[in-house]
């Protein structure tokens, strides 16, 4: 039984808990500079070894900027877009409205195995891995939904000082302290049962790391 004001207190606590599950510094950026930084998302997706027929999870899909490109690339396959923010997920649905091979899941990346009913070929995390509170545990959770020899791919900002990553005249991206080198990304992911398959360069400020599940 709630004391007077107890419902409000519970609601506030739930809101705080929900905010705690959102990776810090991973909000969806302004579309103008995001498109300036990623003018050709189709080529990004092709270079990340996403192939026709795959079942791909776009984890932390945001407003669907890469989701649509994944859907076109997999063709007869499917893309499962996952995000914790219902507003972002609604925006992604609009971006992908003409595509018929998209599924949408609202939920926490750290509970991915509870959201997906079947194993997938590939999980992409674009520009949010740096904010994961426990990166190795996140990689381990992703491993629970990957098929044997499935791939986990991460697109990250290079660890350049934020004041040096200028787009449309302003510093952009996460705080300098949150950025990760490729070696740091590998050190976080490989203990969860992966090996690096390929590294991809995305000038001027990003790299991609593609890992194969080994267990």
Q: Assess whether the previous peptide bond of 204 is cis (omega < 30° from 0).
A: yes
Does this model's pTM top 0.75? My answer is yes
- The pLDDT tens digits of the residues spanning 130-187 come to 999 999 999 999 999 999 999 999 999 999 999 999 999 999 999 999 999 999 999 9
Rounded average pLDDT over 62-78: 96
CB contact set of 23 (below 8 Å; sequence gap of 6+): 60, 109, 128, 130, 131, 132, 133
Distance in angstroms (rounded) separating the CA atoms of residues 123 and 86? 20
Q: Of 35, 39, 45, 85, which is closest to residue 66 (Cα–Cα)?
A: 45
Residue 207 tokens, joined: 């790299």
pLDDT for 34 equals: 87
- CA 34 from centre of chain: 15
- Indicate the pLDDT class of residue 32, thresholds 50, 70 and 90: confident
pLDDT for 82 equals: 97
Residue 138 tokens, joined: 């996140």
SS percent in the chain: helix, strand, coil, step 5: 40, 25, 35
The one-character DSSP state at 23 is: P
Q: Of 212, 62, 188, 207, which is closest to residue 122 (Cα–Cα)?
A: 212
Q: What is the CA radius of gyration of the chain?
A: 18
Distances 10 to 2, 86, 107, 132, 152 between C-alpha atoms, Å: 9, 21, 20, 26, 37
Question: Please, what is the average pLDDT of the chain?
Answer: 88
């Amino acid at each position: 039984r709630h004391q007077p004001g107890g419902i409000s207190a519970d609601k506030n606590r739930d809101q705080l808990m929900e905010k705690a599950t959102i990776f810090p510094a991973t909000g969806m950026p302004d579309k103008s500079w995001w498109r300036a930084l990623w003018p050709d998302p189709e080529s990004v997706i092709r270079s990340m070894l996403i192939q026709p027929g795959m079942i791909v999870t776009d984890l932390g899909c945001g407003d669907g900027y890469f989701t649509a490109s994944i859907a076109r690339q997999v063709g007869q396959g499917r893309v499962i877009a996952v995000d914790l923010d219902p507003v972002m997920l609604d925006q992604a649905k609009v971006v992908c409205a003409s595509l018929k091979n998209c599924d949408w899941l609202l939920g926490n990346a750290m509970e991915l195995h509870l959201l997906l009913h079947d194993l997938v070929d590939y999980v992409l995390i674009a520009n949010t891995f740096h904010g994961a509170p426990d990166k190795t545990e996140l990689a381990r959770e992703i491993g629970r939904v990957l098929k044997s020899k499935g791939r986990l791919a991460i697109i990250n900002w290079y660890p350049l000082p934020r004041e040096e990553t200028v787009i449309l005249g302003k510093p952009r991206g996460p705080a300098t302290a949150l950025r990760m080198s490729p070696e740091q990304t590998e050190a976080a992911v490989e203990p969860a049962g992966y090996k690096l398959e390929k590294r991809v360069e995305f000038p001027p400020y990003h790299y991609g790391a593609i890992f194969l599940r080994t267990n």
